[in-house]
Structure 1
Amino acid sequence: MIYALFADMAVADNGSRQGKVRLTKWYSPYTQKERSKVIRELSGVILTRGPKLCNFVEWRGYKVVYKRYASLYFCMCIDQEDNELEILEIIHHYVEILDRYFGSVCELDLIFNFHKAYYILDEILIAGELQESSKKTVARLIAAQDSLVETAKEQASSISNIIAQATK
């Protein structure tokens, strides 16, 4: 089972390691203080590792699986007995879907469209388990969600116009 996902422990262009986490999803209960401590510790562990080292780290009785895509890091914390390669594939699957949706996903996409990134993640994983492995299905669900949002915006806009005209 996946316990947590952290995305975008950013590495600045000048090479400094900032460790700003832009997206987190917790599948186990932790207090805010514990979450901050976990993020700080894992950021320190992952960002200091060399690029040619293995993408799996043992940490506090768990395994941490991470993958770097350009300046973005995606990291998942799993049980010791879970398959690391399967989790690496889930990370890659998530990034491919993000790339399809955003064009080429970057830190700004995760900052300004975090709700979409979370929605996509929720279509792939439920309660820390893989729910949907088909990229086409996820893309279709995201398109349907976007269509619903646009319809709701149009309806809200037309209602606002009606109210504005009525109050004149």
Structure 2
Amino acid sequence: MNGADRVTGRLTYRDVGATRHGPLPAGYNHLHHTTRIGRGRAVFEAAGTAVTTWRMHRGSGAGLRASAGRAEPGVRVEVSVGVGPLRISAPCEVIWTVHEKDRTGFAYGTLAGHPETGEESFVVELHDDGSVWFTVTAFSRPAAWYSRLGGPVVPVLQHWYARRLGQTLRRIAAA
């Protein structure tokens, strides 16, 4: 790990950092989804800020509690979906961040109590042609009885959520 990597919690998987350095580990479902967000430095900056300050997650309709206002290694995050007794919470910890001239984002890994085990990254990039892209990369497998019961539906829902995040980010960056 380097200076932008620091893990303080008890992660539930071994391949910490694989969404950053690859390859994604065997034995997991893999997700790689890319969405074009727009064009130009202003769109890149707005999208990068929305990703790293949780605005994208909150704007997608997910509940989110974080131990800090910005994604930094060691920050605890709990993402939740559903209502009342049907609410599912997913505790995570930010394991790496990137803040470069043309690349911004972070990844979090699963903690005990998460319905899955694995890692997910959210990265915004400004390409040489001025286009701005958002990529979700993840590897996961069921950790709770209800995610195992969901079987092949769970990866479909994860892909749907990645698309929703991309649409949300495009809307935020265009505003």
| TM bin (shorter chain) | under 0.3
Q: Higher helix proportion, which one?
A: 1
Larger strand proportion of the pair: 2
Question: Based on CA coordinates, which of the two structures has the bigger radius of gyration?
Answer: 1
